[in-house]
Structure 1
Amino acid sequence: MTNLSTPNSSSTDASSNLRGARRRDSGSPAKPPATMRAAVIAAPGKIELRELPLPEPGPRQVRVRLEGCGVCGSNVPVWEGRPWFEYPLEPGAPGHEGWGVVDAVGSEVQSLAVGDRVGALSYHAFAEYDTVDEDAAVVLPDELAELPFPAEPLACAMNVLERSDVQPGQVVTVIGVGFLGSLLIQMMTRRGARVIAVSRRRSALEWAERMGAIAALPLTSPDDVQQQVAALSGGDGCPRVIEATGFQEPLDLAAALVAVRGKLVIAGYHQDGLRQVNLQQWNWRGIDVINAHERDPAIYTAGMRRAAAAVVAGQLDPAPLLTHTFPLSELGAALDAAVQRPGHFMKAVVRP
């Protein structure tokens, strides 16, 4: 395991020419093995590493030799054993932040070729290989050849940014400074917005300042946060407030911070059941409430392309936020880190 106890200072500097960019492995591709390793969450807190036959792609699929997969915050409840999950999970699940190199293509695939390095929207990526639909994989530009690229969360960040419609000069509050919140702070700041960050974790507030936030406020008392945001926003609230936690209390706070006719953008993943909202408050202020989650794979792949272009153009730099790296055999430790968030933890990546 590589544990970066302090934020990584690396940055990306690349040209913006993406047209036709494609990286392929040099030389003849090696013959693939007959089997692969895949992690199985057999029960809450229990990982089994299994040897399985190498999957064959369908006619419109490709097989990806995975270079890595990010650990998502949404993986934590299944690891902890929340009651709405059934065990064991399928091999490789719920890994959905994978990237790697195409090593086999189906008979009807036209847009991808063996050797293409891709970001992929797949769902069994805690493994050495995964198959993915042709239209759910995006070729990564040459400029990103050596960089990790957890495609799905980067696409999510791009899609939330687009739905938020943040304008230069606006005061924006982001509640929740995990990987997604940090990416949004970084991109909104680079668009010219003045971003206020709110989080419970001290290390997350330090990340927020590093990403460009004009203020980083601890979420100790909602009333205190409201007073501080009012002072920073001229007393009228914020035209954009992003909730990126997935919990009730921060959602309540987010709604209280939105200015009249502002936008409340729900980016947090509220997977554990019902929420209550103050509809009188929402109605009186005439706010727009935007659920910034996407379920259309085409929208996700479009977000992946925009994310790759943004990294190349220097508008987005996820590299410093990928703070911890684990081998596939230590997936349990990676999931534990996502729960405990030690030190300056922001995101874990699992490498086969």
Structure 2
Amino acid sequence: MAAIPDVMRAAVLAEPGRMRVAELPVPEPGPEDVLVRVHRASLCGTDLKIRSRAFFPDGGPPAGTFVPGHEYAGRVVAVGSTVDEFRVGDRVVTEAHRGCMRCVNCLSGAYTECLNSGRHDKGHRTQGMTVNGGFADYVVNHVSTAHRLPDGISFDAGVVLTTVGTVMHAFDVLGDLLVGARVAILGPGPIGLLAVQVAKALGADLIALLGTRESRLELGRVYGADPVLNVRDGTAVGQVRDSTGGQGVDVVLECSGAPAAVDDALGLVKRGGKIVLVGFFDRPVTADLNRAVMNGLTLHTVRGEGAGSLARAIALAGQGRLDTEALVTHHFPLEEVAEAFDTYAERRGDAIKVMLDIADEPV
């Protein structure tokens, strides 16, 4: 293992809409922390909001000081004085969210809804959102947010498991086993395509995938979705209902973040069914909530990979029941972070998961 330097490369927020690479001090782990040498980090839609500074209500931190990145994997290179859960050299993937672990929400396990969100002085951290993240050579994580990667799972595949964690959390909030359930998934982006795989692995009887991008829909078919329908023709909701004898599905996961998709979700689900809003909307949504009231529907929301869901995602991957590496479509070195962001934002080359290659073996 190479010696840890004093300074590192980091992709930092510049002016709104821009990223650049700078040199920053290597962070030092506290007593309960691990220092991770980042190998791979991927972009997601939230990173675009962070780059534009739309994510920050106050405009965000000064230019050149903040490191985004909440999806990453690497090796432990140093541990805090109380850490015995990991050793130097362990391969890990990390959770973004660490609650304060003192408010009533955290104590009940809902640490992604921490009442002290943003209060670093009270122990809350969200990597790459409220504290520096993984678009850098090194990053500090609380020991509770690190998870050991099984042998045979690459860093690329491991990073995408953070997104699987969000999917697992979405199914968690239903409170029911998915075996035999009829499921509809709106939006064949990374979350939706992974939701197809997880629903299949958990025993769903029918998995309908709806969206607008034909190449993504076809990939969903490969992963086990059927029927696979393009919503642009206006008949997709009716076709799914027809495939369930007119009743509708038991569960809808709305993963697209498209405002019109909420009404589609209300039209897809059966009486007494459940809808989970997973995608982030970029503007207020208008929907016919009378459908929900009159039909006894339950609406859930999730944010990120809460309730220990990343650990369960890793377990599924370790059993060979998930194909996450195939969703990685692009690789860029850290120095080309601006190009990576543009590629992801503009969906160049049908980009799905865009990866920053920060380090390679051996470290």
Partner of 1:105: 79
Tell me the secondary structure at the aligned position of residue 48 of structure 1.
strand
In structure 2, distance between residues paired with 1:105 and 1:76? 31
Instruction: Kindly tell me the number of residue pairs found equivalent between the two proteins.
Output: 318
Query: Among 105, 109, 115, which residue is 2:89 paired with?
Result: 115
**Of the candidates 308, 315, 321, which is equivalent to residue 309 of structure 1?**
315
Contact 1:39/1:91, CA 8 A, preserved across alignment: no
Q: Does 1:152 align with 2:165?
A: no
Q: 2:342 aligns with which of 330, 336, 345?
A: 336
User: Cα offset for 1:273?
Assistant: 5.1
User: d(CA) in 1 for partners of 2:169 and 2:54?
Assistant: 28
> What is the deviation of 1:285?
0.6
Question: Are the counterparts in 2 of residues 166 and 188 from structure 1 also a CA contact under 8 Å?
Answer: no
Q: What is the CA RMSD across the aligned residues, in angstroms?
A: 2.1
User: 1:95, CA displacement in angstroms?
Assistant: 0.4
Equivalent AA in structure 2 for residue 103 of structure 1:
V
1:60 pairs, out of 14, 28, 32, with: 32
Structure 2 vs 1, CA of residues 228 and 295 (structure 1 numbering), >3 Å: closer, same or farther? Answer: closer
The letter for the 1-side match of 2:67 is: A
- Classify 1:104/1:90 alpha carbon distance in 2 versus 1 (closer, same or farther; 3 Å): farther
Taking the TM superposition and a 5 Å limit, the aligned residue runs for 1:95-244 are 95-121=69-95, 122-123=127-128, 124-144=133-153, 148-150=157-159, 151-164=161-174, 165=176, 167-190=178-201, 191-221=203-233, 223-244=234-255
Instruction: Give the Cα–Cα distance (whole angstroms) in 2 for the partners of residues 286 and 47 of structure 1.
Output: 46
Match of 2:19 in 1: 47
Deviation, 1:169, is 3.5
Give the match for residue 264 of structure 2.
253
Deviation at 1:125, TM superposition (A): 0.6
AA in 2 matched with 1:118:
V
After superposition, the C-alpha distances for 1:186-232 in whole angstroms (9 at most, x for unaligned) are: 121232431111112122112211211112211215x4222222222
Return 5+ residue gaps in structure 2 as ranges. 96-126, 359-363
Q: 2:98 is matched with which residue? A: none
Specify whether residues 116 and 257 from structure 1 end up closer, same or farther in structure 2 by C-alpha distance, changes over 3 A only. same
Does the aligned pair in 2 maintain the 1:68–1:148 contact within 8 Å?
no
Q: Could you tell me how far 1:87 is from its partner in structure 2? A: 5.6
Preserved CA contact (<8 Å) 2:187 2:211: yes
CA contact (8 A) 1:194 1:214 kept: yes
Amino acid at match of 1:342: R
Which position in structure 1 is the counterpart of 2:301?
Answer: 291
Residue 219 of structure 2 aligns to a residue whose secondary structure is: helix
How far residue 152 of structure 1 moved from its aligned partner, in angstroms, is 2.6
Q: Residues 217-250 of structure 1, C-alpha deviation per residue, up to 9 Å, x if partnerless? A: 11215x4222222222221111111100223211
- 8 Å Cα contact 2:259/2:286 also seen in 1: yes
Matched with 1:25 is none
Contact in 2 for aligned 1:57/1:104 (Cα 8 Å): yes
Give the AA of the match of 1:111: E
* 148 and 91 in structure 1: CA distance in 2 versus 1, 3 angstrom threshold: farther
> Measured at CA, do residues 193 and 202 of structure 1 come closer, stay the same or move farther in structure 2, by a change above 3 Å?
same
Unaligned runs of 5+ in 1: 1-28
Q: Is the 8 A contact 1:160 1:267 kept in 2?
A: yes
Shift of 1:38: 0.2
Q: 2:266 and 2:287 mapped to 1: Cα distance?
A: 9
Which structure is richer in relative contact order (CA contacts within 8 A, separation 6 or more)?
1
Deviation, 1:289, is 1.1
Distance in structure 2 (CA, Å) of the matches to 1:86 and 1:244:
27
1:133 positional shift: 0.6
Structure 2 CA distance for aligned equivalents of residues 328 and 52 of structure 1 = 14
Q: Which amino acid aligns with 2:44?
A: C
How high is the TM-score relative to the length of structure 1? Answer: 0.84
* SS state at 1:228 partner: helix
Query: Is contact 1:92-1:126 (8 Å) kept?
Result: no
Identity over aligned pairs, percent: 31
Does structure 2 conserve the Cα–Cα contact (< 8 Å) formed by 1:101 and 1:117? yes
Alpha carbons of 1:269 and 1:52: their partners in 2 closer, same or farther (altered >3 Å)?
same
Please say which of residues 61-70 and 155-164 is displaced more in the overlay: 155-164
Whole-angstrom distance in 2 between the partners of 1:110 and 1:342: 44
The one-letter amino acid of 1:209's match is R
Q: Matches of 1:227 and 1:241 in 2, distance apart? A: 14
User: Structure 1 residues 337-346 or 239-248, which shifts more?
Assistant: 337-346
User: What amino acid does structure 2 have at the position aligned with 1:56?
Assistant: E
